[in-house]
Amino acid sequence: MAQAYYNAHLAGDWKQNSYYKPTSEEFIRTALYEWCPAPGFRDLLFLDYDSFCGLDGKFDDFEIPTLILEGKWDSNWDMGKVEFMRRNHPHAQVEIFKKSGHKIFADEPEKFFDILQKFLEKADKAKIEYKPGNRIQWPKPHSDLELKKVMAQSHLNN
């Protein structure tokens, strides 16, 4: 599998995640340590997707500071996601990284950490009052057994 990841990166697959071409060492690191979730993880993750995907108005009164960061060249998403997030998080700070793919922290680290630091400093001073009301009720997993199965498989694969 590591060879397949390495070959894919050599063939240009890196463009899905990065703005700048990774070095040979980064290619190798990705091939050896690519994120491989437990079997069934993605299926379990998306079981309840439709029940919490309707976010219209859910964050209109959200008082916790929110930062949304997006790479312009991220081919794993499209810019429609940014508009979706802006619509549903009207008070969020949104930053677009023009020379970044999926890994903005790697493509533009100075800009990323500068924005993050300023956001955290500002958020630390924010006066937050809890306002009950329009909150998302996150669904429970379909079953504890299903959740335990995914966790057990994850431990076996590591």
pLDDT in tens, 97-125: 999 988 899 899 999 999 999 999 999 88
* Selected residue with higher pLDDT from 147 and 12: 12
pLDDT digits (tens, 9 = 90+) for 29-67: 777 776 677 777 777 766 765 565 566 777 777 778 999
CA distance 13 to 19: 12
Integer Cα distance of 6 and 3 in angstroms: 5
What is the pLDDT, as a whole number, of residue 139? 58
pTM listed for this prediction: 0.64
Maximum pairwise Cα distance, the chain? 52
Handedness of CA 61, 57, 100, 105 (dihedral sign): positive
Residue that the structure tokens 């029940």 belong to: 51
